[in-house]
Amino acid sequence: MKKQLLTLLLCGGSFAFAQQPVDYVNPFIGTSNFGTTNPGAVCPQGMMSVTPFNVMGSETNEFDKDSRWWSTPYTSDNDFFTGYAHVNLSGVGCPELGGLLLMPTSGELKVDYHEYGSHYEKEVAHPGYYSNILTKYNIKTEVTATPRTGLSRFTFPKGQGNILLNLGEGLTNETGATVRFVSDTEIEGSKLMGTFCYNPQAVFPIYFVMQVNKAPKEKGYWKKQREMKGVEAQWDADAGKYKLYTKYTREISGDDVGVWFKYDVAEQEQIEVKIGVSFVSIENARENLKAEQPGFDFDKIASAARDKWNDDLSRITVEGGTNDEKTIFYTGLYHLLIHPNILQDVNGEYPKMESLEVGKTSGNRYTVFSLWDTYRNVSSLMTLLYPDRQLDIIQTMIDMYKENGWLPKWELYGRETFTMEGDPSIPYIVDAWMKGLRDFDTTTAYEAMRKGATTPGEFNLLRPDANDYFSLGYVPLREQYDNSVSHALEYYLADWNLSQFAEALGKKEDAKLFYDRSMGYKHYYCKDFGTLRPILPDGKFYEPFDPKQGENFEPSPGFHEGNAWNYTFYVPHDIKGLAKLMGGNKKFVNKLQGVFDDGNYDPANEPDIAYPYLFSYFKGEEWRTQKEVHKILKSGYHNAPNGVPGNEDAGTMSTWAIFSMMGFYPACPGDADYVLTSPVFDKITIHLDKKYYPAGDLVIEASHATPESIYIQSIQAGGKKLKGYTISHQDLVKAGTLKFTLGDQPKK
Amino acid sequence: MKKQLLTLLLCGGSFAFAQQPVDYVNPFIGTSNFGTTNPGAVCPQGMMSVTPFNVMGSETNEFDKDSRWWSTPYTSDNDFFTGYAHVNLSGVGCPELGGLLLMPTSGELKVDYHEYGSHYEKEVAHPGYYSNILTKYNIKTEVTATPRTGLSRFTFPKGQGNILLNLGEGLTNETGATVRFVSDTEIEGSKLMGTFCYNPQAVFPIYFVMQVNKAPKEKGYWKKQREMKGVEAQWDADAGKYKLYTKYTREISGDDVGVWFKYDVAEQEQIEVKIGVSFVSIENARENLKAEQPGFDFDKIASAARDKWNDDLSRITVEGGTNDEKTIFYTGLYHLLIHPNILQDVNGEYPKMESLEVGKTSGNRYTVFSLWDTYRNVSSLMTLLYPDRQLDIIQTMIDMYKENGWLPKWELYGRETFTMEGDPSIPYIVDAWMKGLRDFDTTTAYEAMRKGATTPGEFNLLRPDANDYFSLGYVPLREQYDNSVSHALEYYLADWNLSQFAEALGKKEDAKLFYDRSMGYKHYYCKDFGTLRPILPDGKFYEPFDPKQGENFEPSPGFHEGNAWNYTFYVPHDIKGLAKLMGGNKKFVNKLQGVFDDGNYDPANEPDIAYPYLFSYFKGEEWRTQKEVHKILKSGYHNAPNGVPGNEDAGTMSTWAIFSMMGFYPACPGDADYVLTSPVFDKITIHLDKKYYPAGDLVIEASHATPESIYIQSIQAGGKKLKGYTISHQDLVKAGTLKFTLGDQPKK
């Protein structure tokens, strides 16, 4: 870990001179503590990312992709590099993608990654750029990216230099690739990806074209050979080993194949390698490469990537706060803009949802929808900061419904992986609609939502337990670990959102139906424990019952990735009703405070992340929000590899920090109100998109007299004092200024 | 084995009514006793063969492709069927091709061949047709072929019917395939083949398109999944197993992949499946399929294949002899016409030798050149019977030189596999030239031959030990099992052929050089043992020495696949000289007779197969030829699966029988003389190709008074009595008649 820290210090050193938002980003944040981000080169919402792959092949690695559940191509906890993975996921909970492993070596050609992998030093990462030195080979490696292509530059020592493309390994659990030489300097092929979160049918191909800027002296393939027995094993010198194909250059296919290029290189000679990808075809991969990287110009591509990031990050400028806080903030924004990413090629083509057909779009078609996470706060932040992209994201979701008959749940490169539960597209979309972003196909959106909310369970891909839910008003526990309460809680919130939407569209009957359903959470409230509690098919509560069971991802009857405390307050649409169930506001507040005080709050998973903001719904208790949010920011978010509390969840963790650091948070998806809290910075300017928010810039001011000035004394919006501790989206975006007066004492 | 015999009896039963040569063929001959032929459907010299594959997957099999050295997709000794292999080799000594395994099953879909394989009964095989009943499924399977495509017809019982294409297994030791659905009824892909005789770089792709005549109810792929460990294994239900892909239909690639089609079938419903292949591209495979099988018409295709065979087999008609003898004879001709086979697609394209380039021909481009075998007698028979094809074969060899810089040694689908030793293209081509077949590029042919005969060893792909051979006149034994004597004996004969050719072309110096070299065999003659004997680098004979070491393919210093006795007489170009070395004609004859009497003659491998004919070079000893040939025909050739003495060697074993049964044999490759022996049939009419042999039909007559009438009393050619027991090719083809008077007593 010393190396890591050194790198960060080096990076940190340059922050003193940083002027641009992009300079604050530290891509190493979230690369430890199971944050599952990576420091690879990527463009904002780019299809391509080029990421150092260091999770296989060495005993010195702390984690190995095949030795346990593991979902990231890179971790700061490891130290053995086996190449650059092309196209990766950031902040997800299952292994996927992370293939097309490109590796330079020097000296004798080795094609077994156990042998050719190398330790490394001098890591440098900026948005759109990553570099290290491979100590085994004394090779400097640098990578950058355009939206759909990657570019690597390898600086070799004198002698034999090799470039390997490993198509056998990768983070994905799928295997199988085919590749062929098009010329001495170009290869093309495809590799199967998928089985995300162990869904066996959610598979898809990635197509690629790779070009090198210098013809090799020799070239070929490798393939792991079958084990042989007896006499045949004696005859076949390659049996069970990696065989080098030295002459054959037509198609080679297999589970564990790769391509090698061998060079004579001069001292410090640089060789560049570019890879274009597509999820439609090899031809499109080549077209992407041609359009985005017609030549080889590393510095130009890296500079363009940096500029793209800076443009996007500059949507907000902050003043005050420490460098670390700025780094956490801008790195959070950076993480926000990685997924969903574009799926369409430069010609607009993309694979349709769950289909072999190729669609064509003039806008952006997005993919990687971790909606169980992102509907909670990412949707709101995208609506606020990048409304144009948010509209494309929503239109993508509606198009998926048109193509596949269902809104997405956890979409990945055209496949519905059915990961996690609920009907998350509803709150994701309704939240935007309620905040005024309505330029999408509302009619189809409503039709799609209503389908999920009314189709019987046996035909309902999104709500498999819909029959119980519709008839009983809740989902009984039918199997020990069926996550039944978690399912139902998601349905309640989704149906409340749908009810709001129906109401707005004048569909009164639907509005009532779905509203009534959304109140069904009350079935689960158990007075004995003061928590929600699973219900058995006979209507009785599940027992034995321990509300704490489910901590640290241990299985828990009725609850998914959490315990009863993590879920009990997850009825953001009816906090007052829940308080009533619990015996009144005071009891609610005390119980909620107890969650924090007793260590039952998990800042690292989604169900309870809005808990700190719930205090602010109760007059005189708002200081608790400010205090707890401040504590979580301090304890969970750092300018360091472990700087995200847990899995980044496709930007959700970072979005929590971004909102919290700016002083407001969307505590209830689908409710246009933000809950206010004390900002971290003295001044925050959000350069709102005038096309959607004509009032333009929103300036948030909050002078911090002392580091302890974390308590709101008063708030002015547009020069007028606010009465409460919430503000609607509509009021916020036209306020012009939001001014917090802070003090070091809570205002009770 | 009972089943086998029953089948043969059934087949035999129809012979009583047989009128046509094709009806005499028994494709089961050579399918046991390591004959390595197969009963699959194939056209004369067709690229495609469709062969029952029964060498994997069951404990009940006597032989398993992976349990030992094994080189045939089918053996009569086994009884477990796992599909039809498309494109196969017949009569070779190493495993190759035998992939694209097409299997019908009924009931539940299984994709592991251990589970889906079936026993079978009621095998029927005719040229261009094979059929059986799968007892496990009660499915009747039938296959037929065109030159480049296969067609299968499966008759199902009522219920669920499945069709599987296994791309993971095959006879080849190479693995890796890629495949995709083009439509509900069509798939396309490629699979790697090669590593023939464990040459790791001799690999090549086969491209295929497969179409079914009925759209399936469901379809998909399978792929063997990686083993997983620990937690991942718990999550992934398919780890280490065959996973069924039920929705995905784009490219799938891997070591062990397959395609399945699921049907609801009525009782006795027939589904047909056709497969086109190409060694150039998928597009060409489709073009081949379209050209040769535009529709689905099993009976028409099978009938056309039969007609093609009958046309070719009718080049000779025989009278007299038993049905078994006719069957042995016509089956021999059938085996002759399997390899070499065409390589070019219907559009004339073919993969150039050792190249990525695609060539184009208006004639036939051949492949599968087992030349160490076929130069000995197949060349002569092709020159005699099918001179047009022989010219294309020779031109193919010359084109290979043009493309790759070397004449072929053991060419396989565009790859030089370097199997066996010597410079066999020289005698193959010179033999034809000496017999008057000269309409090929003689200048280039000579240039090519001379290159092999003069290039220093370090640059000589055909004669790696050329330096020793050139400087010493022999090849010393430098490694225990380097086959040095065998190498040199091949060079002597090749150089003698080249000397003849040079002489004929007026190249006197070359003629002398190569003739002198060809006499170098004398170095090896050891008086102490009366045999050839390996020589050590210091010039002394190798010891300890046992002339019998090397029987039954056990390793033997200096000799390849044989012992000193099998090689000692292998100087057919200087039998008189060898006799002199041995101390005179009598001693020679006695020693040669001793080889037969002492069990040192191996009728199943090439080096000594001409031995019986050598007696006829010595006046008064010719009866020994007639006697030994008769004995070998009786003991080694049968109308039964074990009816070939050993490996068929691409027609060489059968050609020995064909010539011997007709009464003449080319005992010295490159010598236009045939040695005469007593024919088996009473009358043999060879319908010579008048374009090359204007005299037309050659009628051989030999009335057999008794079964013991095997001894020649006199011979007339064209009505004139012959003085000796040889006849030149030129005299034979214009003789019109060749009349043998036979008796039951040897004429000494």
Q: Which amino acid is at A619?
A: K
Annotate B715-744 with three-state secondary structure. Answer: EEECCEECCCCEEEHHHHHCCCEEEEEEEC
The predicted pLDDT at position B235 comes to 82
Copy the structure tokens of residue A507.
């569909």
Mean pLDDT of B665-678: 98
Q: Nearest CA to CA, how far is A628 from chain B (Å)? A: 36
Average pLDDT over residues B212-240: 91
- Is A722 strand, coil or helix? coil
Give CA–CA dist B461/A729, Å, rounded: 80
What's the burial of B537, exposed, middle or buried (CB within 10 Å: 0-12/13-18/19+)?
exposed
Asked if B175 lies within 8 A of A226 by C-beta distance, the reply is yes
CB contact under 8 A, A190 and B226: no
Contacts of A742 (CB under 8 A, 6+ apart): A678, A702, A703, A704, A705, A709, A710, A711, A712, A713
- Among all residues of chain A, which has the CA nearest to that of B94? A232
Give the per-residue pLDDT at B409: 97
Indicate if the pLDDT at residue A635 is higher than 60.
Answer: yes
Helix (H, G, I), strand (E, B), or coil: what is residue A677? coil
What's the pLDDT at A17?
Answer: 52
**Which residues, numbered 196 to 225 in chain A, qualify as contacts with chain B under a Cβ-Cβ cut-off of 8 Å?**
198, 200-201, 203-205, 223, 225
The Cα–Cα gap between B255 and B168 comes to: 6
- Residue B517 CA from chain centroid, whole number: 31
How much is the pLDDT for B18?
52
Distance of residue A202 Cα from the nearest chain B Cα, in angstroms: 8
Q: How far is B188 from chain A (nearest CA, A)?
A: 14
Q: What is the pLDDT of residues A429-447, one digit of tens each?
A: 999 999 999 999 999 999 9
pLDDT exceeds 70 at position B11? no
Res B232: pLDDT: 79
pLDDT tops 90 at residue B68: no
Q: What 8-state DSSP symbol labels residue B20?
A: S
| Domain B354-568 annotated CATH 1.20.1050.60 | yes
Domain B2-311 indexed as CATH 2.70.98.10: yes
In Å, how far is A411's CA from the nearest CA of chain B?
16
Q: Contact B53/B74 with Cβ under 8 angstroms?
A: yes
- Helices B387-404 and B442-454: crossing angle in degrees, nearest 10, is 50
Mean pLDDT value of segment A738-743:
97
Q: Is B255 on the interface with A (CB under 8 A)?
A: yes
Tell me if residue B703 falls in helix, strand or coil: strand
Of B176, B198, B236, the CB nearest to A236: B198
Contacts with B, A 340-399, CB within 8 Å:
354, 356
Please determine, for residue A2, whether its predicted confidence score (pLDDT) is greater than 50.
no
The answer for B 677-736 residues in CB contact with A (under 8 A) is: none
> Rg (Cα) of chain B, in Å, rounded?
26
> In 3D, which of A231, A24, A52, A207 has the Cα closest to residue A127?
A24
Query: Nearest residue on chain B to A231, judged by CA atoms?
Result: B68
User: What is the arithmetic mean of pLDDT over A57-84?
Assistant: 91
pLDDT at residue A3 tops 50: no
- CA gap B97, B284 in Å, rounded: 19
CA distances, A440 to each of A437, A500, A671, B132 (Å): 8, 17, 19, 63
- Mean pLDDT value of segment B738-748: 95
CB contact under 8 Å between B254 and A257, yes or no, is no
User: Using a CB-CB distance cutoff of 8 angstroms, which residues of chain A are in contact with residue B194?
Assistant: 248
Largest CA distance in chain B: 90
CB-based contact, A230 to chain B, within 8 Å: yes
Q: B550-584: string of b/e by CB count within 10 Å (b at 16+)?
A: beeeeebbbbbbbbbbbbbbbbbbbbeebbebbee
Output the CA–CA distances (angstroms, integers) from residue B618 to B519, B611, B615, in the order listed. Answer: 20, 13, 6
Contact of B469 with B485, CB cutoff 8 Å: no
Partners of residue A198 in chain B, C-beta under 8 Å:
235-237
Question: Which residue, B380, B357, B367, is CA-closest to B416?
Answer: B367
Residue B748 pLDDT greater than 70, yes or no: yes
Task: State the pLDDT at residue A585.
Answer: 97
Residue A69: predicted pLDDT:
80
Pairing of strands A737-743, A698-703: parallel
> Mean pLDDT across chain B, nearest whole number?
95
B139-145 sheet: strands from edge to edge: B80-81, B118-126, B129-134, B139-145, B149-155, B270-278, B203-212, B186-194, B177-183, B252-254
For residue A698, which of A710, A709, A707, A688 has the smallest C-alpha distance? A688
Please indicate if any CB of chain A lies within 8 Å of the CB of B245. Answer: yes
Residues of A whose CB is below 8 A from B236 = 173, 195, 198, 200
pLDDT digits (tens, 9 = 90+) for B447-500: 999 999 999 999 999 999 999 999 999 999 999 999 999 999 999 999 999 999
Q: How confident is the model at residue B17 (pLDDT cuts 50, 70, 90)?
A: low
CA-to-CA distance for A428 and A413, rounded, in angstroms?
A: 19
The answer to whether the Cβ–Cβ distance between A250 and B204 falls below 8 Å is yes
On chain A, the residues whose CB falls within 8 A of the CB of B198 are 235-237
What is the average pLDDT across B307-312?
98
B605 in contact with A, Cβ within 8 Å: no
Determine whether the interchain pair A198/B251 forms a contact, defined as Cβ–Cβ distance below 8 Å: no
Contacts of B232 (CB under 8 A, 6+ apart): A66, A68, A69, A173, B239
The beta-strand segments (E) located in A109-241 are 118-126, 129-134, 139-145, 149-155, 159-166, 177-183, 186-194, 203-212, 218-224
Phi-psi region of B593 (alpha: psi -120 to 50; beta: other; left: phi over 0): alpha
- CB contact B192 to A (< 8 Å): yes
Its ipTM equals 0.93
Question: In this predicted structure, what is the pLDDT of residue A15?
Answer: 44
Give mean pLDDT, residues B567-576: 97
Q: Do A68 and B247 touch (CB under 8 A)?
A: no
| Contact between A176 and B257 using a beta-carbon 8 Å cutoff | yes
CA dihedral A84, A90, A91, A95 (to 10 degrees): -60
Contact (CB<8Å) A253/B253: yes
A248 interface with B at CB cutoff 8 Å = yes
Domain spans of chain B, in order of start? 2-311, 354-568, 587-748
Largest CA distance in chain A: 90
Residue B16 scores a pLDDT above 50: no
B409: DSSP letter = S
Contact A51, A102 (CB under 8 A): no
- Residues listed for chain B: 748
Q: How far apart are CA A312 and CA A386, in angstroms?
A: 9
In the structure, what pLDDT confidence band is assigned to residue B355 with cuts at 50, 70 and 90? confident
Residue type present at position A41: A
Instruction: Determine whether the interchain pair B173/A200 forms a contact, defined as Cβ–Cβ distance below 8 Å.
Output: no
> Which residues of A are less than 8 Å from B350 in CB distance?
none
Position A559, amino acid: F
Of chain B, the percentage scoring pLDDT greater than 90 comes to: 91
Convert the pLDDT of each residue in A674-702 to its tens digit. 999 999 999 999 999 999 999 999 999 99
Distance from CA of A214 to the nearest CA of B (A): 21
Using omega within 30 degrees of 0 as the cis cutoff, is the peptide bond preceding B340 cis? yes
3 state DSSP class of B18: coil
To the nearest 10°, the Cα dihedral for B348, B353, B357, B361?
-20
Q: How many CB pairs under 8 A join A and B?
A: 130
Do B252 and A192 count as a contact with CB atoms less than 8 A apart? yes
Is the CB of residue A645 less than 8 Å away from at least one CB of chain B?
no
Q: Which residue of B has its CA nearest to A236?
A: B198
DSSP letter assigned to residue A196: G
ω into B544 cis (within 30 of 0): yes
Span B683-701, average pLDDT: 97
- Predicted local distance difference test score (pLDDT) of residue B8: 40
Window A:63-102, CB contacts with B under 8 Å: 66-69
Using a CB–CB cutoff of 8 Å, tell me whether A251 touches chain B.
yes
Is residue B453 within 8 Å of residue B495, measured between CB atoms? yes
pLDDT, tens only, A218-253? 999 999 999 988 777 888 889 999 999 999 999 999
Smallest Cα distance from A175 to chain B, Å: 7
Three-state secondary structure call for residue A490: helix
Average pLDDT over residues B193-217: 95
Q: Is the pLDDT of residue A11 over 50?
A: no
Write down the mean pLDDT value for chain A. Answer: 95
Give the amino acid at A116: Y
Q: Does B281 touch chain A (CB under 8 A)?
A: no
Minimal CA separation from B250 to chain A, in Å: 7
Query: Which one has a higher pLDDT value, A694 or A17?
Result: A694
CATH top class, domain A587-748: alpha beta
> Do the chains contact at A245 and B69, CB–CB below 8 Å?
no
Q: One fold for both B2-311 and B354-568?
A: no
Q: How far is B44 from chain A (nearest CA, A)?
A: 29
